[in-house]
Amino acid sequence: MISEMIRRSVEEAMQIQGYLNNPISLKFIQTVSEWIYRAYEGKNKILIAGNGGSLCDADHFAEELTGFFRQRSRPAIAAVSLSQPAHMSCVANDLGFDFVFSRAVEALGREADILVVLTTSGNSNNLIQAVDSARKMGLKTVGFLGKEGGRLRGKCDLEWIVPGFGFSDRIQEAHMSAIHIIIEAVETMICSPCTSATSP
């Protein structure tokens, strides 16, 4: 029955949202927020990459930083989603799809910038290549992962694995909720001069 499927899916959605409220998730959200705030203060930028639905999430993450989220009075935050179609088709055609993000990191990344990768499997070769390039260049790296973390597990400076779900949709829902909370936290720090980031 369709009603049973809907009820089951609603329960899954509620369960995945509940995963945000544990010490590991809360610490990750706070630390990423502080890193982005410090990048903003240091005039560094955030590069964001993903494939498929996670690419759409990368676009959304970037536009909420460069545009507005809840605070209309705060300055723009330098963020770039690595999703420019001409660049991606050029690199994919000439070098292969595995290099579409690493080439963008090499072009746009600078030491002390942040690379954020979004992947539910952790096994995307193009994201692994991007993280490798970013670390060689002195960027900080953040991984929003799922399932068991895949081959990206342990490669980023900071990672968050959403386990226990075999399908990407629920993992992406958790990723996006965390992203929204991170953006709100960054805006709060920018708009509260007395607030200071404390993580190393």
Cβ neighbour number for residue 59 with a 10 Å cutoff = 15
Domain presence at residue 4 = no
Domain presence at residue 144 = yes
Q: What residues does 49 pair with on adjacent strands? A: 117
Domain presence at residue 132 = yes
Q: In what order do the strands lie in the sheet with 140-146?
A: 79-81, 46-50, 114-118, 140-146, 158-162
> If 0-12 CB within 10 Å is exposed, 13-18 middle and 19+ buried, where does residue 197 land?
middle
Domain presence at residue 29 = no
Pair 110, 83: CB distance under 8 Å:
no
- pLDDT attached to residue 196: 43
**Domain region containing 136:** 34-190
- pLDDT attached to residue 192: 81
Domain presence at residue 130 = yes
Q: Residue 114 to residues 45, 46, 109, 110, 185: CA-CA distances in angstroms?
A: 6, 5, 8, 9, 17
Which token pair is 169? 């949709």
Domain presence at residue 62 = yes
12: which residues sit within 8 A by CB, 6+ positions away?
165, 170
CA angle 119, 12, 33 (to 5 degrees): 45
Domain presence at residue 46 = yes
Q: Residue 131 to residues 26, 37, 78, 193, 196: CA-CA distances in angstroms?
A: 23, 21, 19, 33, 28
Which residue has tokens 């342990």? 154
Which residue has tokens 């990423």? 32
Chunked mean pLDDT (size 10), the chain, 200 residues: 90 86 96 98 98 97 95 92 98 98 98 98 97 98 96 98 86 96 96 53
Total structural domains within the chain: 1
CATH number of the CATH domain containing 75: 3.40.50.10490
Domain presence at residue 28 = no
pTM of the model: 0.92
Helix axes 100-108, 85-94, angle to 10 degrees: 120
CA dihedral 95, 47, 114, 188 (to 10 degrees): -170
